[in-house]
Amino acid sequence: MDERDRFEIPKDMRSMAEASFEQARNAFEKFLSGAQTAADSLSARAATIGAGAKDVNAMAFSYAEKNVQAALDYAQALVHAKDLSEAMRLQREYVQAQMRALTEQASEMSQIVGRTAMEAAKPKN
């Protein structure tokens, strides 16, 4: 392997990065827990929120969680890359996976929003 293509992260920096990722992951999990509690509380108190709005809220929350988790996993894998070609492969795989996920998420979200709009437009008897 050509020395120009090889890069190594010193052990101390790698350990510090791994600790930082773990702290970020823990902070994110605490944030999600608090946000979910707040969202549940708001949903419980807001009797006027329709089922569609609850679905959109739950789905957006789920998407945010999945996307941040994917970014954290990618960053952690990148820290362990052994060389530039592996880092580039990880980047390509991450971008491709995120594009697929975002396309799917947008499709699902538009279906729920469309269904909710159709329900709201129905005449009330």
pLDDT in tens, 58-79: 888 899 999 999 999 999 998 8
Residue 117 CB: number of other CB atoms within 10 A?
10
Q: What is the pLDDT of residue 34?
A: 80
Neighbours of 104 (CB within 10 A): 11
d(Cα 62, Cα 10) in Å, to the nearest integer? 36
User: What pLDDT is recorded for position 48?
Assistant: 40
Instruction: Tell me how far apart the alpha carbons of residues 93 and 73 are, in angstroms, rounded to a whole number.
Output: 12
- Enter the tokens of residue 15: 């350990």
6-32: pLDDT as tens digits: 667 777 777 777 777 778 777 777 877
Question: pLDDT category, 47, cuts 50, 70, 90?
Answer: very low
Q: Is the pTM of this model over 0.95?
A: no
Task: Give the pLDDT band of residue 1 (cuts 50, 70, 90).
Answer: low
How far out from the chain centre does Cα 87 lie?
21
Phi, psi of 69, deg, nearest 5: -60, -40
Cβ proximity of 65 and 32 under 8 Å: yes
In tens, the pLDDT along 77-105 reads 988 989 889 999 999 999 999 999 999 99
Exposed (0-12), middle (13-18) or buried (19+): which is 75, by Cβ within 10 Å? middle
